[in-house]
């Protein structure tokens, strides 16, 4: 259920990017699809899982299509500021990360690979959105306030808590809350990764 | 057979885009490949079909390579206007859409997913072409005159006619002609999707 | 072993591109990953091989991650000129090409498809790097001095020598040395593919 909130956040973010580039409804739908479902799609392809998740569970595809069209034509729904997207987006980051880690562990990958699958699922939709909109991915700038880092730390928290006896039922909510709070804290306090000392070009 | 016409149209369109960006022969071949075969390649990857179609049926790859080099170095062949590419391209859109829907139905997807596979096969080659040429995909502008919309409507026409007793043999030609004519009409009469009422940024 | 040198060259090239775009450490890691491992990843997806190679052999992923972070934060290690990357890069091109051809032959593709797999493995990482950095791929300009051409010729040399009795043990070193020398010669003597005679736009 909470996964649909992440999909909704990705859809809003995709439609907003499409509007900024003066795309039409087709552009809005495709960019929304890439943003909301692109990370999990890439994960499934990398793992060689056969049909990707939104072909197996069509609810994701339906939701994205309907929401994208509704958001695109709605003016009221879209009086969103970048700020108001932050909450569902941070929740989505947490949920998508857990789903990615789970996919890796289910397929028998190592913890290391599973953590990468978590991060890819969590953040790559936004990268595909920006590439399609002909921009350098925002994820790669220091103004992104630890977006990928929150996902990576959360992935390891999830992996470790599922190993502790009696903790595994708590792993999902604990990780989602952890990523959610860490992400909001990073935005609030302008946290970013350390920069290299000297520029060299 | 008619599929090769679509591949040829994609190749011409890819070589033209490469020339516009002053690419060399390698660029022309790669961009032609992405334009002509990229949509079907993505479809096969999403469906988890094992080797993609042009590895299983090498004729597509041979044709694209040979045509791309020939077009790139030929000056006579390339006195094409954007106008003269419209006819084979509209035919290709029809054929690729049907091939994509068929791939989905063959793999046992729902009608909804099969229609998406049709559209992806029909239009995504051009999206990959534009991304690789560092431009916002033309598909997403309203000047594209219902390109993706023709594909989507045609996909549903194909799905429905294959369900009607005695109609299934007609589904292929009917759909190709429908998409072809609808696309030409959209270009002729400058049709585009409705725009949202108010701008919000 | 020599494959790791190619991965290292790709990582350096990716980190350099990320720095040029003022990306942070996340950007450097992702772009390095795409550059070093992207070509082989695409090859595995096209061949429908199940989990891609760096999920099956994690050493590649570990090496890329560690090197990318080290290069990004190191100032001393990165007094590389574009010139000093040429040697490991040309070696990497040779090794990656052979690995790609081998993957195709192992999966029972034709020589033609195997040669394409070699070229894709050899060169597509750089294409993904440039697309992600929002630039027209350098591979497609004539200043690339036969980069893809070296890979293609080497792929065919490898295929043919593996067919000659008693030569197959030599095929790997022979091909790597051939691609390496041809690439350096192309750079030294400014070789490029012939251009089309007349411009047509």
Give ipTM to 2 decimals.
Answer: 0.90
User: Do the Cβ atoms of A196 and C72 come within 8 Å?
Assistant: yes
Report the pLDDT averaged over residues C145-165: 91
CA-to-CA distance for C129 and B126, rounded, in angstroms? 20
Mean pLDDT computed over A158-163: 92
Give the Cα separation of A21 and A135 in Å (integer).
11
For B174-184, what is each residue's pLDDT tens digit?
Answer: 999 999 999 99
Task: Please report all neighbours of A, defined by 3+ CB atom pairs within 8 A.
Answer: B, C
Please write the tens of the pLDDT for every residue from A54-72: 999 999 999 999 999 998 9
Residues of A with CB below 8 A from B142's CB? 24
C20 close contact with A: CB closer than 8 A? yes
pLDDT value at residue A145: 79
Cα within 13 Å of Cα(A129), Cβ side: 27
Interface contact flag, B196 A75, Cβ < 8 Å: yes
Q: In the prediction, which pLDDT does B124 show? A: 94
Q: Could you tell me how many CB contacts below 8 A there are between chain A and chain C?
A: 83
Chain A contact set for B134 (CB, 8 A): 134
Which tokens sit at B120? 């992806």
CA-based torsion, C144, C118, B65, B132: positive or negative:
negative
Residue of B nearest to C104 (CA): B55
Burial class (CB in 10 A: 0-12, 13-18, 19+), B154: buried
pLDDT, residue C99, reads 94
CB pairs under 8 A between A and B: 85
Per-residue pLDDT band for B83 (boundaries 50, 70, 90) equals low
| Chain A touched by C50 (CB under 8 Å) | yes
| pLDDT (tens digit per residue) in C16-37 | 899 888 899 999 999 999 999 9
pLDDT digits (tens, 9 = 90+) for A119-158: 999 999 999 999 999 999 999 887 787 899 999 999 999 9
Mean pLDDT along residues B79-99: 82
Residues whose CB is less than 8 angstroms from the CB of residue A188 and which lie 6 or more positions away in sequence, other chains included: none
pLDDT confidence band for C148 (50 / 70 / 90): very high
pLDDT on residue C145? 79
Mean pLDDT for the stretch of residues C53-67: 95
> How far apart, in whole angstroms, are the C-alpha atoms of residue B86 and residue B192?
17
pLDDT at B80 over 70: no
Among B12, B22, B26, B133, most C C-beta atoms within 10 A, so best to mutate, is B26
Task: Give the range among A136-140, A178-182, B60-64 with minimum mean pLDDT.
Answer: A136-140
Nearest to A50 among B48, B137, B140 (CB): B48
pLDDT score of C83: 67
Least Cα separation, residue B101 to chain A (angstroms):
14
- Helix ranges, chain B (H): 2-20, 25-47, 53-56, 59-73, 86-106, 111-132, 147-163, 168-188
| A166 touches C at CB < 8 Å | no
Instruction: Enter the pTM of the model.
Output: 0.93
Confidence check: pLDDT of A33 > 60: yes
Is residue A47 predicted with pLDDT exceeding 80? Answer: yes
Residue B198 is predicted with a pLDDT of 59
CB contact under 8 A, B127 and A131: no
Cβ separation of C132 and A127 shorter than 8 Å? Answer: yes
pLDDT grade for B6, boundaries at 50, 70 and 90: confident
| All chains having 3 or more CB pairs closer than 8 angstroms to chain B | A, C
pLDDT at position A89 over 60 = yes
Question: Mean pLDDT across chain A, nearest whole number?
Answer: 89
Q: Which residues of A touch C16 (CB under 8 A)?
A: 201
Do B118 and B61 form a contact (C-beta atoms < 8 A)? no
pLDDT > 70? residue C201:
no
Which residues of chain B have a CB within 8 Å of the CB of A41?
Answer: 46
Residue predicted with more confidence, A167 or C49: C49
Q: How close is the nearest chain C Cα to the Cα of B107, in Å?
A: 15
C196: nearest CB among B16, B75, B131: B75
Average pLDDT (C161-176) is 86
Query: Any idea which residue has 């991060």 for tokens?
Result: A119
**C100 shares contact with chain A (CB less than 8 Å):** no
Task: Output A5 or B153, whichever has higher pLDDT.
Answer: B153
| A120 has a chain C CB within 8 A of its CB | no
Name the residue of chain A whose CA is nearest to B49's CA.
A50
Question: Is the pLDDT confidence value at C170 over 80?
Answer: yes
Q: Chain B residue closest to C48 (CA)? A: B50
How confident is the model at residue B78, as a pLDDT? Answer: 55
pLDDT at A115 over 70: yes
Query: Is the pLDDT assigned to residue A44 strictly greater than 70?
Result: yes
| Contact check, Cβ <8 Å, C136/B75 | no
pLDDT in tens, B40-51: 999 999 999 999
Binning pLDDT at 50, 70 and 90, where does residue C81 land? low
How confident is the model at residue C142, as a pLDDT? 78
Average pLDDT over chain C, rounded to whole?
89
Q: Is B64 on the interface with C (CB under 8 A)?
A: no
Check if A110 contacts C (Cβ < 8 Å): yes
Mean pLDDT of B41-66: 96
pLDDT band at C116 (very low <50, low <70, confident <90, very high): very high
User: Residue C21 gets which letter from DSSP?
Assistant: T
B175 vs B179: CA distance, rounded Å: 6
Q: Using a CB–CB cutoff of 8 Å, tell me whether A51 touches chain C.
A: no
Identify all chain B residues contacting A137, using CB atoms and an 8 Å cutoff.
none
Among C48, C140, C200, beta carbon nearest to B50:
C48
As given in the structure block, the two tokens for residue C18 are 């990320």
């Amino acid at each position: 259920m909470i996964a649909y909130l992440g999909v909704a956040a990705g859809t809003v973010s995709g439609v907003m990017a499409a509007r900024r580039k003066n795309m039409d409804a087709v552009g809005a739908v495709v960019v929304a699809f890439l943003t909301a479902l692109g990370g999990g799609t890439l994960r499934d392809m990398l793992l060689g899982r056969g049909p990707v998740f939104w072909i197996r569970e069509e609810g994701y595809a339906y939701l994205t299509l309907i929401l994208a069209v509704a958001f695109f034509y709605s003016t009221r729904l879209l009086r969103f500021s970048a700020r108001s997207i932050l909450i569902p987006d941070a929740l989505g980051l947490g949920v998508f990360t857990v789903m990615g880690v789970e996919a890796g562990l289910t397929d028998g990958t190592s913890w290391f690979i599973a953590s990468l699958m978590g991060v890819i699922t969590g953040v790559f939709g936004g990268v595909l959105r920006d590439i399609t909109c002909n921009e350098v991915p925002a994820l790669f700038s220091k103004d992104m306030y630890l977006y990928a880092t929150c996902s990576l730390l959360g992935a390891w928290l999830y992996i470790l808590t599922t190993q502790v006896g009696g903790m595994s039922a708590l792993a999902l909510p604990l990780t989602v809350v952890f990523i959610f709070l860490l992400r909001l804290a990073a935005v609030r306090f302008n946290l970013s990764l350390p920069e290299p000392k000297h520029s060299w070009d």
